[in-house]
Amino acid sequence: MELETLLPWLLFSATLVWFFFLATKTLVKSPKTPSSSTAIPKAYPIFGSAFALSANFNRRVQWISDILQTIPSSTFVFHRSFGSCQVFTADPAVVQHILKTNFPCYGKGLMFYQSINDLLGDGIFTVDGEAWKFQRQISSHEFNTKSLRKFVETVVDVELSNRLLPILSEASINQTTVLDFQDILQRFTFDNICMIAFGYDPEYLLPSFPETPFATAFDEGTRLSSQRLTAVTPLIWKVKKILNIGTERRLKEAVAEVRGLARKIVRAKKKELEEKAVLLESVDLLSRFLSSGHSDESFVIDIVISFIIAGRDTTSAALTWFFWLLSKHSHVENEILKEVNEKSETVSYDEVKDMVYTHAALCESMRLYPPLPVDTKEAAYDDVLPNGTVIKKGWRVTYHVYAMGRSEKIWGPDWAEFRPERWLRADVDGKWSFVGMDHYSYPVFQAGPRVCLGKEMAFLQMKRVVAGIMREFRVVPAMAEGFEPEYTAYITSLMKGGFPVKIENRNNT
């Protein structure tokens, strides 16, 4: 781009940044009353509500959630800069409308594609239309095979027995050891999902806690892509991309590392499969796609990297918050422990299915701390939502999973309580049975045609991990009394600052 063309954009961007700085500085210094912090933010010409968003940026998930709780329709229009609009909702009827009833109108859209495409390419999480349908179809076929499930079981059990539990055992012996349990779980799930997706072991969960290039680059790529999605003014990152500076340069380097290694793995896997007469039943997703005739290099890289981002961060986030809540609710811990001890020493996956109370506790944990706090679609044409909100073509519509999990309208006056029993019904003999929630009121795994393909597999993995850890160990937060960790989010949720814990061996207490 010519300097004469680029200079006005740079000056304009600098002006925007200056305005945001002044507005944020002023707003942060101003004392907030409960009414002003939960009011629909005021919109200004050109800038929209960017000043309010900038002031609340570090707690934007909680801020939007607070606003939604005060609105009768649980829906409002947020005005972004340059006249664009985004609708936020916590109304189950609206969620059903955009995910099922008028599904053709609401795709991922151009903004999402531009923000995440560098990392995920044209994978299932970035594309719409026929490309999405095709990838969904072939992925659905593979996820429903018994052989893949068996492979997943083996991968999880090996990583659990050979890496995770020995690290926890060592920490339980030395009581001065404090582990970042969030980091441990991220490493555990990263090894798992890379093996499931690529048949590649990054060896990220080792006693030395190595910083492997692939995992580091993947983290960086995910974080910086998320910053694009949540940017107050997307124009700024687009200019930085043109100039190849700052965060955009780091993103480019991270993506090159991730996709470069993925390309090497794909080529090696192709060669390996060519040398084999038949495909073994218990193999990774990449081998399955290649053996099914999907040999285009970019295609398989895109779809497999998409599954890594879906399977790694969501599961580790769910388990992090689960163990935090468990440490505060001893009666829930005791119920789960009783359920675990009723199973064989090495809990099989058939036995995991029967861990009903554990399943309910995981659902309840994800209600309060969803791995994906929000999900956004873009309107392909004008529409009207069930609650009367008018939608224009190109508007983004965001259903706020975090807000829905804290909605008194959906969950009742005890919504703030961690109570797995809300998901259960006891028969005359006192045996629990699980009572599911309407998917559009609890869209943690999306719903309708886009419902998560790996949902059941994720529950099996999480329950297997919970059983393996809890049978032997107690996870004890190493935090000051009364400290409440902060829920934050990039693409998926995190416990800000990590989750420091000590490990106690149950046999020694």
pLDDT digits (tens, 9 = 90+) for 312-356: 889 999 999 999 999 999 999 999 999 999 887 777 777 888 899
Structural domain of 309:
3-508
Using the predicted structure, report yes or no on whether residue 20 has a pLDDT greater than 50.
Answer: no
Please indicate whether residue 272 or residue 90 has the higher confidence score (pLDDT): 90
Mean pLDDT across the chain, nearest whole number? Answer: 88
Percentage of residues of the chain with pLDDT beyond 70: 91
pLDDT at 30 over 50: no
For residue 237, how many C-alpha atoms fall within 13 Å in the half-sphere facing its CB?
20
User: Can you give the CATH number for the domain in which 141 is found?
Assistant: 1.10.630.10
Comparing 15-19, 192-196, 384-388, which segment has the lowest mean pLDDT? 15-19
pLDDT value at residue 7: 44
| Bigger pLDDT: 303 vs 280 | 303
Nearest one of 111, 393, 94 to 234, comparing CA atoms: 111
Q: Is 452 part of any known ligand binding site?
A: yes
Does the pLDDT of residue 444 top 60, yes or no? Answer: yes
The enclosing H or E element of 399 equals strand 396-400
The 10s digit of each residue's pLDDT in 57-115 is 889 999 999 999 999 999 999 998 888 999 999 999 999 999 999 999 999 999 999 99
The Cα–Cα gap between 419 and 441 comes to 17
The total number of structural domains in the chain stands at 1
- pLDDT of the residue at 46: 87
Instruction: Provide mean pLDDT across the span 279-295.
Output: 80
Using the predicted structure, report yes or no on whether residue 295 has a pLDDT greater than 50. yes
Q: 202-221: per-residue pLDDT in tens?
A: 999 999 999 999 999 999 99
What is the structure's pLDDT at 312? 82
Once rounded to an integer, what is the mean pLDDT over residues 103-132? 92
| pLDDT for the residue 85 | 94
Indicate the pLDDT class of residue 31, thresholds 50, 70 and 90: very low
Is pLDDT of 470 > 90? yes
Could you give the count of Cα atoms lying within 13 Å of 142 in the half-sphere of its Cβ?
27
- Tell which residue, 374, 438, 371, has the closest CA to residue 400: 374
pTM (predicted TM-score): 0.90
C-beta separation of 306 from 124 below 8 A:
yes
Copy the structure tokens of residue 146: 């018994």
Query: How many of the other CB atoms lie within 10 Å of CB of 478?
Result: 14
Q: Is the pLDDT at 13 greater than 70, yes or no?
A: no
What pLDDT score does 2 carry?
Answer: 46
